[in-house]
Amino acid sequence: MQEMKLGIVGCGIISEAYLLGAARSRIVAVKSVTDINPDAAKARAEAFGVAAVGFEEMLADREIDIVVNLTVPQAHAEISHRALAAGKHVYSEKPFAVTYAEAREMVQAATARGLRIGSAPDTFLGAGHQTVRTLVDEGRIGKVVAGAVTFATPGMEMWHTNPFFFFQRGGGPVLDIGCYPITQLVNCLGPVESVVAHASKGRETRVVTTEPHNGREIRVEVPTTVNGALAFRNGANIAFTASWDVWKHTRQPIELYGTEGSILNPDPNFFGGTVKVSAKSGDWQEVSISGRPFGAPNRELRNGNRVADYRMAGVFDMAAAIRAGRPHRASGEMALHVLEIMEGLERASAEDRRIPIESTCERPAPVLPGDGEEVFL
């Protein structure tokens, strides 16, 4: 198939992963990049052999099929609306808007123009999470009745070079990292019916410990610990914790408990990892994820661990789906549903009540075994 041309808006830390992914693709090719900081765009352009242009020039380029929006969350809605108005399909980093209302308008605008909108996270397309999806679909642990999610770290100021926006409106651990496990849960279990939660703020201020802002103070505007529960329409009841107030813990990222056993789901911030399943109270047994795409480790973290990081897979799938006329998996509808769930968790705490979830979505089609992006063709 002919490559679909991409324009990338936003040349911060995450853009490197997207550009590396695109460089290995025959489904898509990056034509140009842009950033509010021209020097950042120029540096990425030179490193990856693409053009650095202004945003208006990118939107006017008829060769650009998809705009990939990697700006800060607070700018996602404006940038994506402008790209849709220019007739471009849009794929956005998460969350694709900072409020459910903004996101719903965006999905409606894309639908009205006959355009696609997609959103990260696309990690659920990875081998580890698709293996769990298969185990659930095959009834390996019977009916899923309960589970637990834990994403808890000391905070973004410990490692990010520009962590300020994480603690402003549109930030916080639920909107930043909660989308990873919630998206995987929707992939495996379907839509959520209602949520309850309690949120708190560990500290009013934080201090950046990384360059170039080392020593600067951050005023925290959002909750930094959220404990809640998600009631799924299929009857599953999943406990949920997202926090930037935890130095250390031993809890698994995602655990699913069924009538016939349990599953340990690997870290949904990445694509691979170790999957384990138990038959009732039996010992944990590791389940192979080989033979599935996006599972082999390809990136080394700061702590020396190697992980599978194939960000851009969602764009591959969306581009192939546009050509084939089929639904894409990391869809605007699913991202909209996940965003309402996340917003509902904070509302549940603020309003001290159960929050019904109005939106819904279809579970995305499973990713079949195969090799790399070829599974999408």
CATH architecture of the domain covering 127-293+331-356: 2-Layer Sandwich (3.30)
Percentage of the chain with pLDDT > 90? 92
Q: What is the pLDDT of residue 175?
A: 85
Q: What is the pLDDT of residue 162?
A: 87
Q: Are 157 and 305 in contact (CB under 8 A)?
A: no
Residue 205 main-chain phi, psi, to 5 deg: -135, 155
Q: How many CA atoms lie within 13 A of 149 on its CB side?
A: 28
Q: What is the pLDDT of residue 272?
A: 98
Task: Say whether pLDDT at 89 is over 90.
Answer: yes
Structure tokens at 324: 């084939």
The model's confidence at residue 176, banded by pLDDT at 50, 70 and 90, is confident
Q: Give me the mean pLDDT over the 30-34 stretch.
A: 98
Q: What is the pLDDT of residue 169?
A: 81
Q: Give me the mean pLDDT over the 225-252 stretch.
A: 97
Residues of the chain with CATH 3.40.50.720: 4-119
The 10s digit of each residue's pLDDT in 127-138 is 999 999 999 999
Can you tell me whether residue 191 is helix, strand or coil?
coil
Task: Say whether pLDDT at 109 is over 80.
Answer: yes
CA distances from 18 to 69, 310, 336 (A): 11, 8, 22
Task: Say whether pLDDT at 1 is over 90.
Answer: no
Of 237 and 171, which is predicted with more confidence? Answer: 237
Structure tokens at 355: 């929050």
Residue 317's contacts (CB-CB under 8 Å, 6 or more residues apart) are 122, 125, 328, 329, 330, 376
Task: Say whether pLDDT at 323 is over 80.
Answer: yes
- Signed CA dihedral, 287, 316, 341, 142: sign only: negative
Task: Say whether pLDDT at 14 is over 80.
Answer: yes
Residues of the chain with CATH 3.30.360.10: 127-293+331-356
Q: What is the pLDDT of residue 145?
A: 98
Q: How many CA atoms lie within 13 A of 261 on its CB side?
A: 18
Task: Say whether pLDDT at 181 is over 90.
Answer: yes
Q: What is the pLDDT of residue 302?
A: 84
Q: Give me the mean pLDDT over the 20-37 stretch.
A: 96
The 10s digit of each residue's pLDDT in 285-315 is 999 999 999 999 999 988 889 999 999 999 9
The model's confidence at residue 159, banded by pLDDT at 50, 70 and 90, is confident
Q: Give me the mean pLDDT over the 155-160 stretch.
A: 90
Task: Say whether pLDDT at 62 is over 80.
Answer: yes
What CATH number labels 4-119?
Answer: 3.40.50.720
Averaged pLDDT of the chain:
96
Q: Give me the mean pLDDT over the 70-98 stretch.
A: 95
Tracing tokens 């590791």 back to the chain, one arrives at 286
Q: What is the pLDDT of residue 38?
A: 97
Q: Which H or E run contains 261?
A: strand 261-265
Task: Say whether pLDDT at 351 is over 90.
Answer: yes
Question: Is this model's pTM higher than 0.75 or not?
Answer: yes
Task: Say whether pLDDT at 170 is over 90.
Answer: no
The model's confidence at residue 235, banded by pLDDT at 50, 70 and 90, is very high
Q: Give me the mean pLDDT over the 221-243 stretch.
A: 97
